[in-house]
Amino acid sequence: MAMFQYKGRDTTGGLVTGNIDATSAEEAASELVDRAITPIEIRQVKMSAKSKAANDRVVGKTEKTSSVDKINEFLAGRRVDVTELIIFARQMYSLTKAGLPLDRALTGLQASMRNRVFKGILKDIVVGLESGMNLSSALGRHPKVFSPLFLALVNVGENTGQLDLAFKEVGRYLELEKNTRKQIKSATRYPIFVMVAIVVALAVITYFVIPAFAQTFARLGAQLPLETRILIAVSDFVVAYWMYMLASVAAAVAAWRSWIGSAAGRLTWDRTKMHLPIVGPVFERIALGRFARTFAMVMRAGVPIVHGLGVVAGAVGNKFIGGRVLRMRDGISRGESLYNTAVQSNMFSPLVLQMIAVGEESGAIDELLAEVAEFYDSEVEYDLKKLGDAIEPILIMFIAGIVLVLALGVFLPIWDLNSAVR
């Protein structure tokens, strides 16, 4: 457990501050809600002496397990994918609905799990439960597997006695996310395949074909066209320095991944990719659809709106839109309405804003947000279907340009071979 410093508002709207011991920020927020305090800010300060001793005991018990998990993960070479999480959520829904204790349910799932990485994670979760942790805190020790939304819904389900419904909502959300990713892969499979084929063909032609033609042209001793001389020069450069080119590409990829991994780089990229031609609107609608879907889920689960927006900001998959969501949270904590903060965020269309306003006035904001999510999902599905039709003419023009350059550079001297011999 750790000590968290919090700021919140009580039932009268007054500002309340203090410290609280909890195993995670989510658990601290849940305990504050139980005290009728709406959390505004929660941050970890330090470990209390008693909590630190208890935590050391838990770490001591799981140190060996964690080491084994790391070895298994390395040997297995696998990660926990979304399909396995969906199956896990569905199984937990059935087991908790049947009234089976959590430790017995997780032990049974662990015995039937084929993924060794996931099996080790479930074993660690059982150890956490046996040490006195609640389920959301035990799951929170594996943030790379269980998202903040997953943990928040499980935490609310534990506190309200509706853990089975929480796992049902999680499974439904993950299923929708899986379908969205499947649609994206289906729409981009053909362009990626064509681009890879083009790159391989250009590499073969540049490294093997053009040098053979260059030797033939050199023996003829004729003046070559400018296009042919350019192609030969490029081929000579590639043949001589291909190792340095590969190293440069690898360094560029590593630098890109490092930049994307930084907070500033991720924020800049997430803002930029929404303005890219053709695919930019698709990225934006996917993120907004996730916002509406996750916000509807946390509202339906009973998560306080201020804490729920913080969870949603991390679940949209876009740092730029996540920052706008956090600005909405700050506005609501100041007493503004959801509609006004949504207008100030400049993220939503007038139709969506009207639905948010109606939902806020009628008290059915979760239902209206679910309708908004379906609206964005249908837009994304339509855009992804059009994506292939939009990219195909561009690929055809690109391939035609490459063929034209090769025809002018390689075959033009062959067509003029008789004059070259004379």
pLDDT of the residue at 66: 45
CA distance 87 to 43: 33
Encode pLDDT of 73-104 as tens digits.
Answer: 444 445 788 889 999 999 999 988 888 888 88
CA distance 70 to 417: 65
The mean-pLDDT minimum among 9-13, 96-100, 125-129, 144-148 falls in: 9-13
Average pLDDT over residues 399-422: 72
Encode pLDDT of 270-323 as tens digits.
Answer: 999 988 888 888 888 888 888 888 888 888 877 788 888 888 888 788 889 889
What 3-state DSSP class applies to 3?
strand
Confirm if 49 and 17 have CB atoms less than 8 A apart.
no
CA distance 76 to 391: 38
The mean-pLDDT minimum among 15-24, 80-89, 160-169, 323-332 falls in: 15-24
Other Cβ atoms closer than 10 A to 77: 8
Q: In a 10 Å sphere around its CB, with 0-12 CB exposed, 13-18 middle and 19+ buried, how is residue 98 labelled?
A: exposed
The token duo for 277 is 């031609």
CA 128 to chain centre: 27
Q: In a 10 Å sphere around its CB, with 0-12 CB exposed, 13-18 middle and 19+ buried, how is residue 290 labelled?
A: buried
Write the secondary structure of 290-340 as one string of H (helix), E (strand) and C (coil).
Answer: HHHHHHHHHHHHCCCHHHHHHHHHHHCCCHHHHHHHHHHHHHHHCCCCHHH
Residue 264 confidence (pLDDT) above 70 = yes
CA distance 194 to 388: 12
